[in-house]
Amino acid sequence: MTDRPVIVLGVGGHAAVVFDLLHIVGKTVKGALVRIGAGLESPLSNLAVLGDDSALSEYMPVDVNIANGIGATRNTEARRSAFSNAQALGFDFPALVHPSAIVAENVELGPGVQVMAGAIIQTGARIKANTIVNTGAQIDHDCLVGPHCHISPGAVLSGAIVIEANVIIGTGARLIQEVKVGADSHVGAGATVTGHIPKCSVVRAPQSTVRPASERSK
């Protein structure tokens, strides 16, 4: 990560964790931007709100980096949109790795990947752009995790798993080796996945049943 100051997108819970991570790794945070239409206040007294998303046009990509502070618990749409819009303007999203995380040398981290405290990523894994590997998550050897995914706290991916784009793996979920999870799917908290999951599916514990994506909000 360069020495440019960082602007955080968002001011919610995930933004607070990202802000803390930036502080721990010694980066200067210029402030935060909120989504258009949201109140211009931050729950963090030491994180100044610079305006809404439209204020990003006031900055130059050569002067600041961006960190995505928008989480992804029900879907990844808001996080994806914020990333794509800022990237289209030319801004960089350097990968962030918490000092307590263990990341093997032969690991690929795409732009904007965030590896949180206590996470483990083993050799040969490839983590694509704007994906969160959250607190204590484990990704074993040779896994491929697509862009805009969220591997939630405590989730475990065994070896050689393929996770396609825009997937949420819930807290404490377990995936056995070599399974594939199709794009835009949601594996619920505590689920155990032992077979391939089609795209746009919902998997719920404890039976680990697959449901249509239209049932996600039920």
Tell me the longest C-alpha to C-alpha distance in the chain.
50
> Would you say 153 and 141 are in contact if contact means Cβ atoms under 8 Å apart?
no
Beta bridge partners of 5: none
| Residue keyed to tokens 């239409």 | 37
Q: Which of 73, 58, 57, 59 is nearest to 17 (CA)?
A: 73
Q: What DSSP designation does 121 have?
A: E
- Rounded to 10 degrees, the C-alpha dihedral 83/166/14/62 comes to -20
Tell me if residue 141 is catalytic.
Answer: yes
d(CA 78, CA 218): 20
Catalytic residue, candidates 14, 23, 98, 141: 141
Q: Spell out where 60-151 has E strands.
A: 65-68, 96-97, 102-103, 108-109, 114-115, 120-121, 126-127, 132-133, 138-139, 144-145, 150-151
Dihedral-angle region of residue 190 (phi above 0 means left; psi in -120 to 50 means alpha; beta otherwise): left
d(CA 132, CA 138): 12
Of the CA atoms within 13 Å of residue 181, those in its CB half-sphere come to 37
Catalytic residues, which ones?
Answer: 141
